[in-house]
Amino acid sequence: MQKNKLRNIHWFVIVGLFLMINSSCVEEYTPELNLDNNHFLVVDGKISNFPGPYTIKLSYSSSILDTLFIPVSSATISISDDQGNTEILKEEDLGVYKTSANGIQGVIGRSYKVNIHLDNGKDYESEFEQLLNPIDVEDVYYKEEWQYAQNESESDQEGFKFYVKTKVTNTSNVYFFWEVEETYEYHSVANILYFYDGTIISEGISNNFGLKPMENIYSLYHCWKTQTLAENIIYSLENTNIQDIHQLPLHFVPYGDKRLRFGYNILLKQYVISEKAYYFLNELKKQNENQGSLFTTQPFQIRGNIFNSQNPSEIVLGYFTVASGSYGPRIQVKAPWRRYEETICYTDTSLSSIQNRIINSKIEDWPIYFTDFPFENPFVPNEFFYVFSYVAPTCLDCTKRGGYTHKPDFWQE
């Protein structure tokens, strides 16, 4: 018996030494994932006291190895309140459904739900949630700060950090959700001098292809883009002794960011949401922040307030949010001068290639824009020479990058 114990200890030591010796050789482990059961319905939508239209996105979940948007089309979706008012949404894009601009609008104190009927016969709905009293924004402001690197792949950066201050509430059990709508100005890389739309004019001195000159070479040069930040900004006053928020950070934009180059404007939307909506968003935030390691929280199914009315046990992802909102004051900033990284543009200066592009073009390619593109003189610093060129449309037509040429009424020069 004693010999067996000694033999077991002996083998234990040998195995331990073997593991220590080979501990420096780590083989990458890719776990086998069951990707067959991830085809769940995903619902993402919101109604508020702000004017519509309201949007509901309908899709199927994709594999955790990709982020594909798999739209669910041809569904019948309606938003209803507890007073019997209902509006059916219109599908404006695949999987994207909207109310009309003058349609249903959230009213404080009423409760709202969504109903979804798919063309496969399945019916889904959300629970009624009440549109609570909103809390006003006291102030939105910024500070010029340093944001220090969180890991080796980052670097310290100086920039603008934006904050919100709320007004005092009458209770501490309040759940906040913020959306930051940003608008920034950007420019094309060069002006459009000529264009081809299927017809030519007489040849000119600087135009060997009979191209039409642009009447306004700046018409597609200045653009403004408005979008909502993807950050999930939430905060709860639950179990606290405070009834307002003095200095909650919203987001940070470093000076070197191109959005700050010609002007950067934000509009804050502050919402009050239900406890259940807050905890859904909080779990979603934790999941998104902890991706990328087997030793952090793993991706999991976060169930919201949507259920299959015929089969309540079916897993349905997403949330239909009922949120009462208030606007913060607009603020606009512009960074101190920086040497910004220029946009890389595809440029063709070959006359034979440009001629072939014109000859072989189709109606869907028109108009084709051309310019005299600046090239830096490699022998003389800060000296440029200009060459007739075809340049990628995204570099000449600023609307190709998602913006619009009309300057917003709120824009400050």
- 145-202 per-position pLDDT tens digit: 999 988 888 889 999 999 999 998 887 789 999 999 999 999 999 999 999 999 887 6
Residue 238 predicted with pLDDT over 90:
no
| pTM for the model | 0.82
Contact 181, 228 (CB under 8 A): yes
- Domains along the sequence of the chain with CATH: 41-130 (2.60.40), 188-222+338-401 (no CATH)
Residue 292: left (phi > 0), alpha (psi -120 to 50), or beta? left
Where would I find the beta strands (DSSP E) of 109-174? 111-117, 123-126, 129-130, 137-147, 157-166
Residue 68 predicted with pLDDT over 90:
no
166's CB contacts (< 8 A; 6+ apart) are 135, 136, 137, 138, 176, 244, 245, 248, 270
pLDDT digits (tens, 9 = 90+) for 371-406: 999 988 888 888 889 999 999 999 999 999 999 999
